[in-house]
């Protein structure tokens, strides 16, 4: 069993930070920062190696046939069906059947995030999980009734996916996915802002041959207090809602992803795509705009490329290919700059029109004391997105008012050639 240091584990909580009340880790004595509080040996991890060592190994292939999360999800379902005979029975027995993650919301609850990017992301994730389930249901679950004698539904598979999504430490996702029992009971606290990792995988025992997951306190903890970590400083509220089922009243968590794309119908499509690729970008670019922060680097540069045309199209010629991105980092022409302002303002207005409430209405709702947790998540996500959209719109509206004061490519070029002085006056030479 996992080695637990100075802890009451599990401990049912009546209140907590971030996630709703549930299980967590509580200190049985005062703990300094960096104290090891739990060590979980590799044999208890739920990962690809555990799948291979189980009776699922023969049907899940060598590990390359299925995505790691799919095979580990099947292992969770297989072990849950075994009940008390499973090595992981004590752990599986305490896992919640649902969280407030939006993947578990009803159709009526999802109406509360109408118009948000979170809604489209949630539906996309569920469609992806459904597709994977359809594959394994036919090829593995139904074909191996000795391993899955009971009925395994999509909801069961979605639950296992949700377990992994909400409980796997961020750095242990992807190909090296591993669910660490009991260590994953530790809860999140937004007050912890250190990016320093609070865990490590290390060798232990004779010659360090035994691999363990070691969890440490990121801050000092008093006896009787819950031990917290920071799940991920870089996640937006929408991502927190999707992965864990909670949000934070923190403006740095409010963001909106602008998706910009070079249209295939653009007469200069090939040239623009080539320029984008030469500068580490592609046909589609995603820019995360955070409330209260500056626009992402290269966003305006990419926008200028998208809107380039007319008398400015000469910059797309091969002659300028190695220098054009540098030129686009500064205003090209009044027409081009006006175009990017209008494109973004129109996009923001269209996005804002898709929400069924205003910012003011949402802020009034947040003052109510009878909000259910999922209602609060929905309101905080949608009001955050709308504030960011208004911020973006205001930036480009203000920029549009300054168009006459900007210096454009032709003026900079004439200055470089000595035809215009620094004050903008034309220089004449007397014979």
Look at strands 226-229 and 46-47 and give their pairing.
Answer: unpaired
Confidence band of 425 (pLDDT split at 50, 70, 90):
low
DSSP state at residue 140? I
Where do runs of H (alpha helix) occur along 281-372?
299-307, 324-328, 334-352, 359-366
Stretch 212-220: mean pLDDT: 93
- Kindly tell me if the per-residue pLDDT of 14 is higher than 50: no
Question: Is residue 231 a contact partner of residue 267, using CB atoms and an 8 Å limit?
Answer: no
| Tokens, residue 407 | 């210096």
* Coil/strand/helix, residue 114: coil
Reported confidence tier of residue 17, pLDDT bands at 50, 70, 90: very low
**One of 91, 228, 231, 355 is an active-site residue; which one?**
231
pLDDT, position 175: 87
* Predicted TM-score of the model (pTM): 0.88
Q: In this prediction, what percent of the chain has a pLDDT beyond 70?
A: 90
CATH number assigned to the domain covering 3-244: 3.90.1410.10
Check residue 2 and give its pLDDT: 56
Got the DSSP string for 192-251? ----S-SEEEEEESGGG-EEEEEEE-SS-B-TTSEEEE-S-TT--HHHHHHHTS---S-G
The residues spanned by each domain of the chain are 3-244, 251-415
| Separation CA 271–CA 305 (nearest Å) | 10
Token pair listed for 131: 């597709």
Catalytic: 231? yes
Of the listed ranges 53-62, 208-217, 342-351, 417-426, the one predicted with least confidence? 417-426
CA dist., res. 294 & res. 392, Å (int): 10
Least confident window among 60-64, 84-88, 208-212 = 60-64
Residue pointed to by tokens 């949402």: 362
Predicted local confidence at residue 18, as pLDDT: 47
pLDDT of 8 > 50? The answer is no
What pLDDT score was predicted for residue 193?
Answer: 87
Residues 273-299: what's their mean pLDDT? 97
Looking at 3.90.1420.10, 3.40.50.1860, 3.90.950.10, 3.40.50.11290, the CATH number of the domain 251-415 comes to 3.90.1420.10
If you average pLDDT over residues 71-95, what whole number do you get?
A: 95
How high is the pLDDT of residue 423? 61
Give percent of the chain above pLDDT 90: 78
């Amino acid at each position: 069993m996992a080695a637990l240091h100075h802890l009451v584990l599990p401990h049912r909580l009546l209140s907590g930070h971030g996630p709703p009340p549930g299980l967590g880790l509580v200190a049985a004595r005062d703990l300094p920062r960096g104290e090891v509080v739990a060590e979980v040996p590799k044999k208890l991890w739920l990962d690809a190696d555990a799948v291979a060592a189980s009776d699922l190994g023969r049907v899940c292939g060598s590990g390359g046939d299925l995505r790691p999360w799919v095979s580990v999800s099947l292992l969770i379902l297989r072990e849950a069906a075994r009940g008390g005979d499973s090595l992981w029975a004590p752990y599986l027995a305490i896992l919640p059947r649902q969280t407030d993650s939006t993947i578990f919301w009803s159709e009526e609850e999802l109406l509360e995030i109408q118009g948000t990017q979170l809604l489209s992301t949630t539906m996309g994730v569920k469609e992806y999980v459904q597709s994977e389930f359809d594959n394994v249901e036919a090829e593995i679950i139904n074909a191996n009734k000795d391993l899955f004698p009971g009925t395994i539904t999509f909801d069961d598979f979605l639950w296992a996916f949700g377990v992994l999504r909400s409980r796997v430490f961020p750095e242990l996702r992807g190909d090296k996915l591993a669910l660490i029992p009991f260590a994953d009971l530790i809860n999140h606290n937004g007050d912890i802002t250190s990016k320093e990792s609070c865990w490590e995988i290390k060798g232990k025992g004779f010659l360090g041959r035994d691999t363990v997951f070691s969890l440490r306190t990121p801050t000092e903890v008093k006896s009787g207090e819950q031990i917290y970590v920071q799940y991920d400083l870089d996640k937006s509220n929408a991502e927190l809602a999707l992965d864990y089922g909670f949000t934070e009243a923190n403006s740095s968590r409010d963001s909106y992803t602008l998706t910009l794309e070079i249209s295939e119908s653009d007469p200069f499509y090939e040239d623009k795509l080539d320029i984008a690729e030469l500068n580490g970008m592609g046909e589609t670019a995603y820019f995360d705009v955070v409330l209260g922060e500056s626009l992402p680097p290269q966003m305006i540069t990419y926008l200028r490329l998208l809107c380039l045309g007319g008398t400015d199209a000469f910059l797309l010629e091969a002659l300028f290919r190695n220098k054009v991105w540098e030129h686009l980092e500064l205003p090209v022409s009044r027409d081009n700059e006006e175009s990017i302002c209008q494109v973004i303002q129109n996009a923001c207005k269209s996005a804002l029109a898709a929400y069924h409430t205003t910012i003011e209405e949402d802020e009034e709702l947040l003052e109510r004391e009878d909000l259910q947790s999922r209602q609060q998540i929905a309101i905080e996500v949608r009001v955050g997105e709308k504030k960011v959209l208004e911020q973006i719109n205001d930036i480009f509206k203000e920029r549009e008012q300054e168009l006459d004061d900007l210096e454009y490519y032709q003026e900079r070029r004439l200055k470089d050639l000595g035809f215009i002085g620094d004050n903008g006056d034309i220089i004449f030479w007397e014979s």
